[in-house]
């Protein structure tokens, strides 16, 4: 091989390497930008879903909490406000559930299924509770007290899951590790280990 050609080879390879590096930087930079936009969008969706969830949480608390305060709306109005907040949560979730992890999405589905009918039916029960023609068990507050007890347990679990999703979407390593750990434990429990 000609020594002159070998000596000139670095001069020919330098521009080729520079072009190759520029192309790779462009491709990877573009991919990173697309991922950053997706993570940002995911965080925005989860934040809005969390806001709607907190609205439902506050409205249900106001509705079902045994203590009322002076100047608050009556229970019928509270029931309507809770139903409206719940419907807003449901609609937003249905349109944006794709942005959630499957585990958190399942938690949200269970929450919605568990409380959709009770929140919807509360205004009717509230109106019927004084009607002597309605059977006594249908007028009893026990059903609602039981729902409140369960709600106090399930609501914080879902809130924590949404917060964890949000922090993971923002890139928080602890949240990502916690999500992974909970997912692994959940999978292990699902498979009977």
Q: Is the pLDDT of residue 48 over 90?
A: yes
Burial of residue 121 (CB within 10 Å: 0-12, 13-18, 19+) is middle
Query: What's residue 12's pLDDT?
Result: 67
The CB density around residue 147, as the number of other CB atoms within 10 Å, is 17
pTM: 0.69
Residue 63 sits at the vertex; the CA angle it makes with 57 and 69, to the nearest 5 degrees, is: 110
């Amino acid at each position: 091989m000609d020594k002159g050609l070998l000596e000139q080879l670095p001069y020919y390879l330098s521009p080729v390497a520079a072009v190759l590096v520029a192309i790779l930087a462009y491709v990877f930079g573009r991919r990173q930008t697309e991922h950053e936009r997706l993570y940002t969008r995911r965080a925005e969706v989860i934040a809005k879903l969390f806001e709607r969830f907190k609205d439902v949480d506050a409205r249900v608390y106001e509705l079902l909490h045994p203590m009322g305060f002076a100047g608050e709306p009556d229970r019928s109005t509270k029931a309507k406000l809770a139903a409206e907040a719940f419907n807003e949560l449901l609609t937003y979730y249905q349109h944006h559930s794709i942005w959630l992890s499957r585990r958190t999405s399942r938690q949200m589905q269970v929450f919605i299924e568990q409380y959709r009918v009770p929140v919807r039916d509360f205004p009717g029960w509230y109106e019927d509770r004084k009607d002597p023609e309605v059977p006594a068990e249908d007028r009893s507050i026990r059903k609602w007290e039981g729902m409140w007890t369960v709600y106090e347990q399930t609501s914080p679990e879902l809130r924590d899951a949404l917060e964890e999703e949000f922090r993971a979407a923002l890139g928080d390593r602890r949240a990502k590790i916690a999500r992974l750990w909970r997912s692994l434990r959940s999978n292990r429990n699902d498979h009977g280990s």
